[in-house]
Amino acid sequence: MAADHVFIPPPSLSAKFEGSFAYLTVRDRLPTILTKVIDTIHRTKNDFFQKHGEVGVDAEKRAISFLSKMRNELQTDKPVLPLTDSADDTEAWNRYLQRQQDLMENGQLVSWFKSPWLYVECYMYRKIQEALYFSPPICDFDVFKEGKTQSFFESQQAIISLCTFLRESLVSADNANRKWLFEHFLTFLQVSLWGNRCDLSISAGQENSQKTSPIHSLPDLRHFILVDDSDKVWSVLTSKQSPGGQEKTGVRLDIILDNAGFELVTDLVLADFMVSVGLAKEVHFHGKSIPWFVSDVTSRDFDWTTSQTAASNHKHMSSCGVQWKRHVKDGAWTYHEHPFWTLPHEFCDMPADAPDLYSTLQRSDLILFKGDLNYRRLTGDRAWEHTVPFGRALRGFLPAPLCSLRTLKANVQVGLEPGQAEKLAAQDTEWMTSGKYAVIQFCSPFEEQQQGS
């Protein structure tokens, strides 16, 4: 390909741009999150002692000293160091560090304030895991568990009203017409979208559970959806539905999960609706293999949430949980973990760096990417012009038709109409980072051909 055709993507967001959101996150929010992690470990010392005796207390001290050292390195912009634990992904992390080092200019070393925000933020969460790896026997302690379970318990009313709405909807689903199906699909899709506001990394761990009714608040929130490709998602879903009466087929739906707590419940409700009405024949959930970005779902969170819901003394909530465990048992639902979801790569690297995962996703008919971090990785966390088409920003990452359900919590947003960003900025300087606005943004191989080239 002639040199002038090599496409150079825009620069990565980075704390090197003083005053940028990335800068404020690395300077203020990441140290705050680290301090909360240290405090959580310190407050759990007695439990460690009860469970493990003195070695538990020694482990608490080791983990805290590791994390305090890292916090100091972060705050004084020291070089980012290779991982030295021997986890499955250690090699991949250290190869990526070398990749980042090769990109540095003037012989500078990879560091917290000079390198891409996406990389250093992901690295911080992986270093928390390294601190625990080196502190047996508390290696498998989930430093974020408390916040994730609190989000679930604080959202009980919202969860009950959502489960009640789902169960009551499914009662009338059998004689439902297309209009009923489409309207309920839109409702559950938007509930899952707005469930993404409940994220503890944007709040640096401050409680932010769902207090209002997730259904009744939807009409007021419509205005804040900046891109709404729901109709394109709907046409993928109905493309595999057999005409009335015959054995329903439905799509293979993959959901790349984001946060535990209320958001996970909204995702399980959406998935239950899709399978129960025959829009999806199977749902594959993809979670994180280590505690990640404070609220992200691990397999323990997934199992805990379905069991906790099933054990509820509220009949509709408990019947949801029982149904969800049945979907897992009979194979309609499958939970997956792949190391790539807790690596720092942009998703356009997946075909080269995780070809097995890419080919798994190619078997999907529709992939829903939940949340802001996934959007940042879909678009490479780069300073794109806001009117660049979504398909272009994906830079070849398109294993199947995909849709991002994201509330805006970082300053990267593509696929807007000309003038739309300027209008928003004039109304609200924080429009890209407050979590107030959202997108339902779709791309398929057909769209990408139109936009990507």
Chosen from ligand F1X, Mn ion, none, partner binding at 265 (C-beta under 5 to 8 Å by type)? none
Chosen from Mn ion, ligand F1X, none, partner binding at 441 (C-beta under 5 to 8 Å by type)? none
Please give the size of the binding site for ligand F1X, defined by CB under 6 A: 16
Kindly tell me which of 25 and 298 has the beta carbon lying closer to ligand F1X: 25
Footprint of ligand F1X on 79-98 (CB under 6 A):
none
Q: Give the β-pairing of 438-443 and 280-287.
A: unpaired
Kindly tell me which of 200 and 277 has the beta carbon lying closer to ligand F1X: 200
Shortest reach from residue 368's CB to ligand F1X, in Å:
13
For residue 204, list its beta bridge partners: none
Q: What are the residues binding Mn ion (CB under 5 A)?
A: 199, 258-259, 293, 296
Torsion of CA 101, 106, 111, 117, to 10 degrees: -80
Kindly tell me which of 258 and 353 has the beta carbon lying closer to ligand F1X: 258
Tell me if 409 contacts ligand F1X by CB under 6 A. yes
Kindly tell me which of 158 and 410 has the beta carbon lying closer to ligand F1X: 410
Q: By the 8 A CB rule, do 296 and 257 touch?
A: yes
Give the whole-angstrom CA distance, residue 113 versus residue 97. Answer: 15
Kindly tell me which of 203 and 312 has the beta carbon lying closer to ligand F1X: 203
Kindly tell me which of 23 and 134 has the beta carbon lying closer to ligand F1X: 23
Strand order in the sheet with 280-287: 225-228, 438-443, 402-407, 366-370, 251-256, 280-287, 333-337
Shortest reach from residue 298's CB to ligand F1X, in Å:
14
Kindly tell me which of 376 and 386 has the beta carbon lying closer to ligand F1X: 376
Footprint of ligand F1X on 332-391 (CB under 6 A):
371-373, 376
Reference 403, options 413, 412, 391, 392; nearest CA is: 391
Chosen from Mn ion, ligand F1X, none, partner binding at 377 (C-beta under 5 to 8 Å by type)? none
Kindly tell me which of 138 and 373 has the beta carbon lying closer to ligand F1X: 373
String marking each residue 111-150 x if it binds ligand F1X according to CB under 6 A? ----------x-----------------------------
Within 10 angstroms of residue 387's Cβ, the number of other Cβ atoms is 13
String marking each residue 25-64 x if it binds ligand F1X according to CB under 6 A? x---------------------------------------
Kindly tell me which of 167 and 377 has the beta carbon lying closer to ligand F1X: 377
Chosen from ligand F1X, Mn ion, none, partner binding at 80 (C-beta under 5 to 8 Å by type)? none
Shortest reach from residue 156's CB to ligand F1X, in Å:
21
Among 161, 259, 364, 404, which residue sits at the site for ligand F1X (rule: CB under 6 A)?
259
Footprint of ligand F1X on 154-213 (CB under 6 A):
196, 199, 201-202
Q: By the 8 A CB rule, do 287 and 298 touch?
A: yes
Shortest reach from residue 111's CB to ligand F1X, in Å:
18
* Angle between helix 178-195 and 230-238 (nearest 10): 130
Tell me if 437 contacts ligand F1X by CB under 6 A. no
Shortest reach from residue 65's CB to ligand F1X, in Å:
25
Kindly tell me which of 319 and 374 has the beta carbon lying closer to Mn ion: 374
Sign of CA dihedral 319, 321, 325, 327: positive
Tell me if 267 contacts ligand F1X by CB under 6 A. no
Give the whole-angstrom CA distance, residue 439 versus residue 431. Answer: 12
Phi, psi of 116 (to 5 degrees): -60, 135
Among 113, 194, 293, 340, which residue sits at the site for ligand F1X (rule: CB under 6 A)?
293
Give the whole-angstrom CA distance, residue 350 versus residue 397. Answer: 7
Contact positions vs ligand F1X (CB under 6 A): 25, 121, 196, 199, 201-202, 258-259, 293, 295, 371-373, 376, 409-410
